[in-house]
């Protein structure tokens, strides 16, 4: 279990994270969802030990600080940027990071990581020749080298094609099924809805709410929208009981189409964080 | 240690695979050493010092002076009509100096035995003071030769002696005994002049080269180069290859200082920082890679110099010590730059500026002898000049352990101090 307790981190006058508390259970994928500047990456940086919180603490299963080598050896981290060496091959990148992790059976672990992200055929090519999706998968493979109990993934699908995204999402879910504890930050609602057991919505350095998708929708999703089409006219209204309302609409005349729009994560997100632009 | 060695291996691989960095670290210093070695040691004609001479005297003595000056293998003489035109040439940079022979040059030449001095005016390009000093020496040498010409020209000698006799005759405060002594001296000089008299060539015929008394010089300098234990430099490459090594190490500093900033930009530094290793291990890995590259530069250039250009390495052990000390020094400088500057542009720009300053202080641009005294003192601590000094000590200066110890100790001290400051700054960097 990973526990973040009352984390506070300021950069000058700006409070990036202000009193954040969160608990990630074993074998769970916890989605950290928030607009730009919400404090997601800062939270991850404190969780991995890159940043020292001004106050609060990070605890891994009752272990020590994430700054200690023994704790770090149990954490896998995929940063948002493609943290790879372009002029090295995929294989060389993995071997280098494996040695850095102090892994003994480098060859086996590197082969296993390559296999998991399906890059074995291109392992001998330099990274600069990889597509964006391949680079993202390699970026994730580096995080898997030490067979980590905890995985911190910072927007691991940013800028990839649908095939690579699907591959990464399936991989993340399978990693959780193996009992790993995963924190997953993303902008993409459908990703969070698809793979996260629970989702934490954060903004302005605070957790606004945490729960399963269903719980969040129940709490913040609001009513279902019913869209009724009569020729060129589209009428959209929020309804408490969509089934009864639908029956009533259909009993009337002139209806050319009907669409039911149940609340989703995006509705929850906008409800919690507002609709103002974040630049 | 395994993690540190992994960083070393990775950085060396990246350096070799980046063609630009690899060329400027290994190829460029080699080219510099070979190019300048060939220029300074080659068989081609050396460039002469171009001067403009304006003869306002127009007499026999100035003509002879001009003939002697033009015959000098180091000087290229061009006649100028006016002083203003000559100075213009100097201002435009097409001549080193404008030498003016004043109207009273002839008269003063005749009074050399009466205490007069030949006077010349030399207007020199201020940007070429070193060559100006060389020219001054040459002018002195040629002027001195005119003294010999007086003794071989009976008419001029007689006129000079008559001038001197008149001076003694009219001088107050000279005793009768002293007057007699002067007269005896003048008579002896007349006798000497008759003995060394050279037949004057017919009018219009070329002046023969000086011989006998004309060619006499009060001092003859046998210029030899220092030979420590018989190990003086075999050729110019013995001098240029140590310089190439210093330039190579500076390129190495540039490559590695910006690589840390590059890692920060890519995010790989973040990955290194979250690995279960200490921050100092990362810095040690980077520095070791830099040191090993420095040693590779020294080895490469030493092998090429030895095999391809007949440079005799005095002591391989001393060369290894000099190379290691220099590499430690430049690795420290690299760490300092990486600690101060957080971006690739900043590190590259600062690296180039540092190289320029270190090279200038070390005599790479302005010769140390022409620097102010305090700069000369500072130059002792320039890694550039100290590296060259230590490497030369190993190759041909024949330094013993005691003599090698000082420059090597200075280099290591600079390296350790820079590393300590750089590492402290770098540890504060948020990755």
Which of A49, A77, A100 is closest, CB to CB, to B3? A100
Q: How close, in Å, is residue A216 to chain B by CA atoms?
A: 33
Q: CB distance from B277 to chain A under 8 Å?
A: yes
- What is the pLDDT at residue B62? 87
> Which chain A residues have a beta carbon less than 8 Å from that of B22?
none
- What is the pLDDT at residue B44? 45
Q: CB distance from A79 to chain B under 8 Å?
A: yes
Q: How far apart are CA B7 and CA B259, in angstroms?
A: 12
Name the closest residue on chain B to residue A104, using Cα atoms.
B2
pLDDT at B18 over 60: yes
pLDDT at B382 over 90: no
**pTM over 0.90, yes/no:** no
- Mutation site, A16, A48, A52, A85, interface B, largest B CB count within 10 A: A85
Phi (first) and psi of residue A101, to 5 degrees: -75, -10
- Mutation site, B268, B283, B428, interface A, largest A CB count within 10 A: B268
- Mutation site, B274, B281, B284, interface A, largest A CB count within 10 A: B274
- What is the pLDDT at residue A183? 94
Name the closest residue on chain A to residue B431, using Cα atoms.
A50
- What is the pLDDT at residue B43? 42
Name the closest residue on chain A to residue B266, using Cα atoms.
A83
For B225-229, which contacts have Cβ atoms below 8 Å and span 24 or more sequence positions?
Answer: B226/B397, B228/B396, B228/B397, B228/B398, B228/B399, B229/B314, B229/B398
- What is the pLDDT at residue A109? 94
Q: Express each pLDDT in A85-132 by its tens digit.
A: 999 999 999 999 999 988 889 999 999 999 999 999 999 999 999 999
Which of A49, A81, A102 is closest, CB to CB, to B3? A102
Rounded average pLDDT over B410-431 = 87
Name the closest residue on chain A to residue B13, using Cα atoms.
A88
> Which chain A residues have a beta carbon less than 8 Å from that of B268?
83-85
Beta bridge partners, A227, equal A236, A259
| Interfacial B residues in 59-118 facing A (CB < 8 Å) | none
Q: Could you give the percent of chain B with pLDDT greater than 90?
A: 23
Q: Express each pLDDT in B73-119 by its tens digit.
A: 888 999 998 999 999 888 888 888 999 999 988 888 777 777 777 88
Q: Could you give the percent of chain B with pLDDT greater than 70?
A: 87
Ranking A10-14, A54-58, B213-217, B292-296 by mean pLDDT, the lowest is B213-217
Q: Annotate A59-90 with b (16+ C-beta within 10 A) or e (fewer).
A: bbeeeeebeeeebbbbbbbbbbbbbbbbbbbb
Which of B6, B267, B273 is closest, CB to CB, to A99? B6
H helix and E strand count, chain B: 17, 4
Q: How far apart are CA B311 and CA B34, in angstroms?
A: 12
Run of H or E residues at A109: helix A106-116
Rounded average pLDDT over B146-154 = 74
pLDDT band at A137 (very low <50, low <70, confident <90, very high): very high
pLDDT band at A215 (very low <50, low <70, confident <90, very high): very high
Q: Express each pLDDT in B28-55 by its tens digit.
A: 889 988 888 887 765 445 568 889 999 9
A58-62, B87-91, B276-280: which has the highest mean pLDDT? B87-91
> Which chain A residues have a beta carbon less than 8 Å from that of B4?
none
Q: CB distance from A147 to chain B under 8 Å?
A: no
pLDDT at B368 over 70: no
E strands present in B364-426: none
Mean pLDDT, chain A, rounded, equals 90
pLDDT band at B131 (very low <50, low <70, confident <90, very high): confident
Q: How far apart are CA B320 and CA B300, in angstroms?
A: 12
CB B391 within 8 A of CB B326: yes
Q: CB distance from A81 to chain B under 8 Å?
A: yes
CB B330 within 8 A of CB B253: yes
In the A/B pair of chains, how many CB contacts fall below 8 A? Answer: 71
Q: Express each pLDDT in A70-93 by its tens digit.
A: 888 889 999 888 899 999 999 999
Q: How far apart are CA A58 and CA A53, in angstroms?
A: 9
Rounded average pLDDT over B276-284 = 85
SS (H, E, C) B184-227: HHHHHHHHHHHHHCCCCCCCCCCCCCCCHHHHCCCCCCCCCCCC
> Which chain A residues have a beta carbon less than 8 Å from that of B284?
none
CA atoms within 13 A on the CB side of A183: 29
pLDDT at A203 over 60: yes
CB B318 within 8 A of CB B399: yes
- What is the pLDDT at residue B220? 62
> Which chain B residues have a beta carbon less than 8 Å from that of A82?
266-267
C-alpha closest to that of B146 among B121, B111, B122:
B111
- What is the pLDDT at residue B350? 82
> Which chain B residues have a beta carbon less than 8 Å from that of A92?
10, 13
Q: Would you call B277 and A99 a contact, using CB atoms and an 8 Å cutoff? A: no
pLDDT at B417 over 80: yes
Q: How far apart are CA B257 and CA B289, in angstroms?
A: 12
- Mutation site, A99, A139, A151, A158, interface B, largest B CB count within 10 A: A99
Q: Would you call B274 and A49 a contact, using CB atoms and an 8 Å cutoff? A: yes
Rounded average pLDDT over B346-371 = 74
């Amino acid at each position: 279990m990973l526990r973040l307790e009352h984390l506070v981190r300021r950069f000058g006058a700006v409070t990036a994270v202000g009193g954040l508390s969160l608990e990630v259970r074993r074998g769970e994928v916890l989605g950290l969802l928030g607009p730009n500047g919400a404090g997601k990456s800062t939270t991850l940086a404190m969780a991995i030990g890159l940043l020292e919180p001004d106050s609060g603490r990070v605890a891994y299963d009752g272990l020590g600080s994430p700054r200690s080598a023994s704790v770090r050896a149990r954490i896998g981290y995929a940063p948002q940027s493609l943290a790879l060496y372009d002029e090295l091959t995929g294989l060389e990148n993995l071997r280098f990071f494996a040695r850095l992790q102090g892994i003994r059976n480098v060859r086996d672990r590197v082969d296993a990581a390559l296999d998991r992200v399906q890059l074995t055929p291109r392992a001998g090519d330099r990274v600069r020749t990889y597509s964006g999706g391949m680079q993202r998968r390699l970026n994730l493979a580096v995080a898997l080298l030490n067979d980590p109990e905890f995985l911190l993934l910072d927007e691991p699908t940013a800028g990839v094609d649908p095939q690579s995204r699907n591959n990464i999402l399936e991989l993340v879910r399978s990693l959780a099924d193996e009992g790993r504890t995963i924190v997953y930050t993303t902008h993409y609602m459908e990703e969070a809805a698809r793979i996260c057991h629970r989702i934490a919505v954060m903004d302005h350095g605070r957790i606004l709410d945490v729960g399963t998708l269903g719980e969040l929708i129940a709490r913040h999703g609001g009513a279902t929208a019913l869209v009724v089409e009569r020729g060129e006219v589209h009428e959209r209204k929020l309804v408490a009981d969509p089934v009864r309302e639908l029956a009533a609409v259909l009993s009337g005349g002139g209806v050319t189409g009907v669409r039911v729009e149940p609340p989703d994560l995006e509705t929850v997100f906008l409800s919690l964080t507002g609709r103002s632009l974040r630049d | 240690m395994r993690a540190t060695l992994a960083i070393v291996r990775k950085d060396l691989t990246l350096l070799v695979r980046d063609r630009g960095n690899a060329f400027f670290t290994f190829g460029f210093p080699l080219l510099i050493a070979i190019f300048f070695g060939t220029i300074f040691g080659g068989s081609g004609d050396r460039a002469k010092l171009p001067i403009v001479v304006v003869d306002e005297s127009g007499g026999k003595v100035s003509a002879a002076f001009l003939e002697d000056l033009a015959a000098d293998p180091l000087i290229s003489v061009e006649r100028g009509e006016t002083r203003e035109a000559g100075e213009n040439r100097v201002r435009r940079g097409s001549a080193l100096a404008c030498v003016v022979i004043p109207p009273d040059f002839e008269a003063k030449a005749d009074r050399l035995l009466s205490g007069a001095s030949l006077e010349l005016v030399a207007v020199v390009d201020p940007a070429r003071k070193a060559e100006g000093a060389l020219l001054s020496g040459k002018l002195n040498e040629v002027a001195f030769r005119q003294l010999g010409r007086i003794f071989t020209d009976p008419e001029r000698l007689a006129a000079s002696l008559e001038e001197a006799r008149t001076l003694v005759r009219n001088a107050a405060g000279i005793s009768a005994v002293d007057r007699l002594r002067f007269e005896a001296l003048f008579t002896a000089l007349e006798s000497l002049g008759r003995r060394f008299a050279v037949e004057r060539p017919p009018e219009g015929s070329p002046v023969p080269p000086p011989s006998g008394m004309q060619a006499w010089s009060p001092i003859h300098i046998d210029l030899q180069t220092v030979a420590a234990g018989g190990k003086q430099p075999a050729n110019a490459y013995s001098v240029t290859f140590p310089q190439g090594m210093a330039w190579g190490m500076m390129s190495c500093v540039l490559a590695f200082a910006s690589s840390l900033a590059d890692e920060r930009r890519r995010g790989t530094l973040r990955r290194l920082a979250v690995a279960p290793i200490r921050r100092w291990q990362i810095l040690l890995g980077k520095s070791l890679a830099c040191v090993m590259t420095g040693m590779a530069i020294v080895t490469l250039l030493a092998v090429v110099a030895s095999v391809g250009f007949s440079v005799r390495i005095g002591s391989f052990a001393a060369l290894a010590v000099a190379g290691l000390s220099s590499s430690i020094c430049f690795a420290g400088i690299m760490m300092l730059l990486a600690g101060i500057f957080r971006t690739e542009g900043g590190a590259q720009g600062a690296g180039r500026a540092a190289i320029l300053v270190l090279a200038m202080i070390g005599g790479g641009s302005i010769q140390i002898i022409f620097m102010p005294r305090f700069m000369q003192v500072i130059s002792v601590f320039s890694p550039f000049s100290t590296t060259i000094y230590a490497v030369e000590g190993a190759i041909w200066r024949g330094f013993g352990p005691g003599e090698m110890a000082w420059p090597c100790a200075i280099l290591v001290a600079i390296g350790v101090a820079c590393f300590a400051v750089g590492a402290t700054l770098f540890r504060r960097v948020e990755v």
